[in-house]
């Protein structure tokens, strides 16, 4: 009931936000398409050491652009949408009405969580697909034209695929974990900012993110100077450090891949969970 009430109360605002996302995305797609001359993907199987080697890159230019646009849009629009979570706390009447709704803080937070995470993700992917699929076919036509105009002798070629056609067949699970963790972290952080700041929460949360990033960067620089390895050591971050002496003997310290993966996946889970929990605690502490 709370979730249904939330959607009904905000449907006009959410509809305007959806339309705004669509037209901003359309402008970006039109600008990129009008400014670039896209080419296909070439490779020569005769020059391969295993299966084949791509002459230019593993992905076409348009396939890379699709991925970049998808991630930028997901994090940017997701963050903006999460920054208007809960209610406009700068409006006392709205805040009192929201706080006095017959539901627990957990229920109110869960309703926002479902809307900001899952509803937005579904709507965003629908909008992105509506924009991306037609433009991909336009780009494919341009790539076929360029291939016919200037074919490379002895080369095989492919034209661009739609984003989901290669993203979900890549088989690299770290990509999916990273995207999901980043998305949950961004939304959780901006939900935290929405519960903390009463006015201009998006911009204040951005400033907070910049300050936190600057602190971590400064900490990393200081730590790097303190823990700097002696001359002659070769540091292959984050797996190993090695040294060759005058006799050619090698000394090596390694961090096991298994331990590294455990640490990586722990962070990918820990960071968004903590941010989400902090947003819930901040909502519970909210006073009007």
Model confidence pLDDT, tens digit, residues 20-60: 999 999 999 999 999 888 877 765 555 544 333 333 456 78
Domain span at residue 16? 2-284
pLDDT at 52: 37
pTM, full prediction = 0.80
Q: What average pLDDT does range 231-242 have in this prediction?
A: 66
Q: Which residue has the higher pLDDT, 287 or 283?
A: 283
Distance of alpha carbon 62 from alpha carbon 68, whole angstroms: 10
Mean pLDDT of the chain: 81
Distance of alpha carbon 207 from alpha carbon 34, whole angstroms: 34
128-145 CB burial, b ≥16 within 10 A, e <16: beebbeebbeebbebbee
For residue range 79-124, what is the model confidence (pLDDT) as tens digits?
Answer: 999 988 888 787 788 888 888 888 888 999 999 999 999 999 999 9
Name the domain count of the chain: 1
Contact present, 162 and 139 (Cβ < 8 Å): no
């Amino acid at each position: 009931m709370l979730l249904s009430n939330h959607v009904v109360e905000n449907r006009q605002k959410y509809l305007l936000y959806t339309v705004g996302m669509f037209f901003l995305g359309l402008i970006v797609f039109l600008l990129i398409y009008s400014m670039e001359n896209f080419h296909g993907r070439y490779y020569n199987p005769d020059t391969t050491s295993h299966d084949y080697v791509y002459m230019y890159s593993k992905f076409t230019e348009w396939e890379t652009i699709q991925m970049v646009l998808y991630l930028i849009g997901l994090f940017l629009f997701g963050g903006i949408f999460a920054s208007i979570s809960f209610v406009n706390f700068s409006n006392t009447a709205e805040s009192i009405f929201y706080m006095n709704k017959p539901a627990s803080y957990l229920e109110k937070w869960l309703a926002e969580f479902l809307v900001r995470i899952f509803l937005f993700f579904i709507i965003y992917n629908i909008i992105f697909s509506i924009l991306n699929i037609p433009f991909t076919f336009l780009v494919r036509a341009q790539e076929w034209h360029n291939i016919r105009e200037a074919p490379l002798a002895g080369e095989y070629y492919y034209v661009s695929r739609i984003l989901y056609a290669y993203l979900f067949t890549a088989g690299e699970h770290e990509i999916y974990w990273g995207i999901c963790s980043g998305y949950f972290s961004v939304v959780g952080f901006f939900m935290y900012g929405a519960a903390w700041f009463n006015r201009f929460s998006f911009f204040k949360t951005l400033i907070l993110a910049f300050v936190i990033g600057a602190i971590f960067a400064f900490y990393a620089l200081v730590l790097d100077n303190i823990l700097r390895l002696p001359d002659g050591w070769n540091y292959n971050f984050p797996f190993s450090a090695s040294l060759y002496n005058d006799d050619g003997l090698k000394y090596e310290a390694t961090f096991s891949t298994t331990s590294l993966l455990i640490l990586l996946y722990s962070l990918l889970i820990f960071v968004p969970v903590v941010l989400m929990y902090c947003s819930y605690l901040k909502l519970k502490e909210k006073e009007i």
